Amino acid sequence: MLYLILLDYLRPLAEVEVHLAAHREYLSRHYAAGHFLLSGRREPRTGGVILARAESLADVARWVDEDPFKQAGIAAHEIIAWAPGLRASEVPEHWVPNAAVAATTPAI
């Protein structure tokens, strides 16, 4: 199952920056473990988004609790379980094994 983790900053960007290195280390650990597939900041810079892959919502909630942004009260996290039914042909099948390839994938 895929999960979107939406982060909303609760503190000014100057405080976010103080915890950014620790947050990036947290992201690196979860990429290395195969949990996270994509991540990045929102535009405008009001928070971030992480695309995760996990067996259960409980696993993702546990990972979110490890985020230095959450531990420091810098960001609020929302977890959205997501079961895509269609995927573009260039999206790896192992990311979403139950999603069919869309009949046409127009260039963006």
Write the pLDDT tens digit of every residue in 38-81.
999 999 999 999 999 999 999 999 999 999 999 999 999 999 99
pLDDT tens digit sequence for 80-99: 999 999 998 889 888 888 89
Closest CA to 45 of 77, 68, 80, 17: 17
Closest CA to 52 of 29, 71, 69: 29
For residue 44, whether the previous peptide bond is cis, meaning omega lies within 30 degrees of 0, is yes
pLDDT for the residue numbered 94: 87
Q: 37 with 96: CB under 8 angstroms?
A: no
Which stretch of DSSP H or E encloses residue 69?
Answer: helix 68-71
**Contact predicate 5/65, CB 8 Å:** no
Fold of 2-101: Alpha-Beta Plaits (3.30.70)
Tell me the domain boundaries of the chain: 2-101
